[in-house]
Structure 1
Amino acid sequence: MDRLIYTSLSAMRGAMARQAATANNLANVNTAGFRGEIAAAQALWVTGGEIQPRALASEQVLGADMREGAVTETGRSLDIAIDGDALLAVQAPNGDEGYTRRGDLQLSDSGLLTTGDGNPVQGDQGPIALPPADNVKIDRDGSIWVVPLGGDPNQPQLIDRLKLASPAGSAIVKGLDGLFRVEGGGALPADPQARVTSGSLEGSNVETTSALVEMIEASRAWETQMKLISAAREIDTASADLMRLD
């Protein structure tokens, strides 16, 4: 009886992990460049005897869905959509180099170029800072050109180049802050063949309908385990009543 309770408890924890991943995906359905999280379960058999009488459930986020999202033309000069599987290098809150597909670039009051969630964008020279300018243009290879205030529109100045890296051949993991990192530490080298499309923005690759179905399935799995725990309690009560009989 107690074994049934512990087995159901592990399944409930798995359902909670799945529900949390699905809820996070739904919360970011409109986040530019977001990659949906993938949760998977596996059976952990309890060993130690001659047979394996039961298995506990283990479910956790194993990775991210790296499919490309839909690209929408915005006409905004600082919006970029990254072609292929390349990633944009940014400075993570802890100072490490992280990677993202988010292309809704912004300019801070100090001229620092950041992503929409505030992470400084990395270039060949480090974090990119732009001077006051009349016009900003990002080329296909990520080069950033500006026309200074009052400058000649026919003579733009090259400021820096976005650091675009390809994860091909490297193991990357997604952190709780939504950024990708090299597993075990380190940084990805810049990919000179990577390209971006300026004036466009890649959306989230989360499919709302599928995510809602997954949330319903996780909720039903939770309810099923609650019923099993209730059944175990009834069996325990019946056993105790039986032991009290003369």
Structure 2
Amino acid sequence: MDRMIYTALSSMNAAMDRQRAIANNLANASTPGFRQEVFAVKPATLRDGSIEARAMARGSVRGADMAAGRVNATGQPLDIAAQGDTLIAYQSPGGAEIYSRRGDLSVSATGLMENGEGLAVLGESGAPVTVPAGFRIAIAEDGTVLASDPAAPDAPAQALDKIKLVSPEGSQLVKGIDSFLQVPGGGALPIDPTAQVTTGALEQSNVQTAETLVQMIDAQRAFEQRAKIIQTAGEIDEAASRLMGMG
């Protein structure tokens, strides 16, 4: 009886964690470049010496679905959509290098280029991209940041920096609770010299709302089924106690 309750309880915890992941996916269905979280459950057996004491379900986010989202034209010169499997490098609030497909870029009052979440865009040198005040900014297809002086309209645009565009191919990535991708242990992905971006466009989230709602309903039903198992185990235990009392 104890084993059945223990297994059902651990499955309930996994179902709750799955619902949290699905809820996060739904909340980011309209976030540019968002990659939905992939949740998986696997059995974890506790062993006591040579015997298997209990088996429980352990569920967690195993990674991100890297399928491409729909690309929509925005007409904004600093909006970029990474092509292929290219990722854009950003600096996390803690200073680590993280990656995303979110490309809604802008320039802050201090001249720092950042995305819609306020994260600094990294250049190929590893430092945040900064631009001079008052200059017109454009981004080339290879990620080069160009600046034009309005006071010299006939002068050619000058290359200030190049956005760090990386390839995840062959590298391990994990998805943090901040929804950004990173290399385990604080590593960095290699620069992809062939990477290209589409300017004036944004890639949308790859979350399929209808499918995700079905997943949420399924997770809720799974939770209720595990709760029913615990209730049944209690009823069986009570019946066994009454039989022993009759004896």
**2:215 maps to which residue?**
214
Structure 1 counterpart of 2:75, which letter?
G
**1:89 maps to which residue?**
89
**1:195 maps to which residue?**
196
Distance 1:129 1:46 in 2: 53
**1:131 maps to which residue?**
132
Q: Which moved more, 1:47-56 or 1:26-35?
A: 47-56
Distance 1:147 1:49 in 2: 72
Q: Percent identity?
A: 48
**1:242 maps to which residue?**
243
**2:149 maps to which residue?**
148
Q: Which moved more, 1:97-106 or 1:234-243?
A: 234-243
| 1:144 counterpart SS class | strand
Cα deviation digits, residues 102-153 of structure 1 (max 9, x gap) = 0001211111100111110001341011112352211010011121242325
Q: Aligned-pair distance for 1:18?
A: 0.9
Structure 2 counterpart of 1:14, which letter?
A
| 2:11 counterpart SS class | helix
Structure 1 counterpart of 2:17, which letter?
A
Task: Count matched residues.
Answer: 246
Alpha carbon RMSD of aligned pairs, Å? 1.7
The answer to whether the Cα contact below 8 Å between 1:87 and 1:101 also exists between their aligned partners in 2 is yes
Q: Aligned-pair distance for 1:64?
A: 0.4
Structure 1 counterpart of 2:56, which letter?
L
Q: Which moved more, 1:155-164 or 1:198-207?
A: 155-164
Q: Which moved more, 1:229-238 or 1:8-17?
A: 229-238
Distance 2:34 2:132 in 1: 29
**1:162 maps to which residue?**
163
**1:39 matched to 2:55:** no
Under a length normalisation based on structure 1, what TM-score does the superposition of the two structures give? 0.94
Distance 1:24 1:79 in 2: 24
The answer to whether the Cα contact below 8 Å between 1:165 and 1:190 also exists between their aligned partners in 2 is yes
Structure 2 counterpart of 1:107, which letter?
V
The answer to whether the Cα contact below 8 Å between 2:96 and 2:186 also exists between their aligned partners in 1 is no
Distance 1:187 1:54 in 2: 40
Distance 2:237 2:49 in 1: 25
Q: Which moved more, 1:194-203 or 1:139-148?
A: 139-148
Cα deviation digits, residues 180-220 of structure 1 (max 9, x gap) = 11122211121111000100000000111111111001000
Cα deviation digits, residues 25-55 of structure 1 (max 9, x gap) = 0000000000000001122234448775863
Unaligned runs of 5+ in 2: none
The answer to whether the Cα contact below 8 Å between 2:97 and 2:186 also exists between their aligned partners in 1 is no
Structure 1 counterpart of 2:4, which letter?
L
| 1:90 counterpart SS class | strand
Q: Aligned-pair distance for 1:245?
A: 2.2
Q: Aligned-pair distance for 1:178?
A: 1.6
The answer to whether the Cα contact below 8 Å between 1:133 and 1:148 also exists between their aligned partners in 2 is yes
Distance 2:78 2:134 in 1: 13
**2:10 maps to which residue?**
10
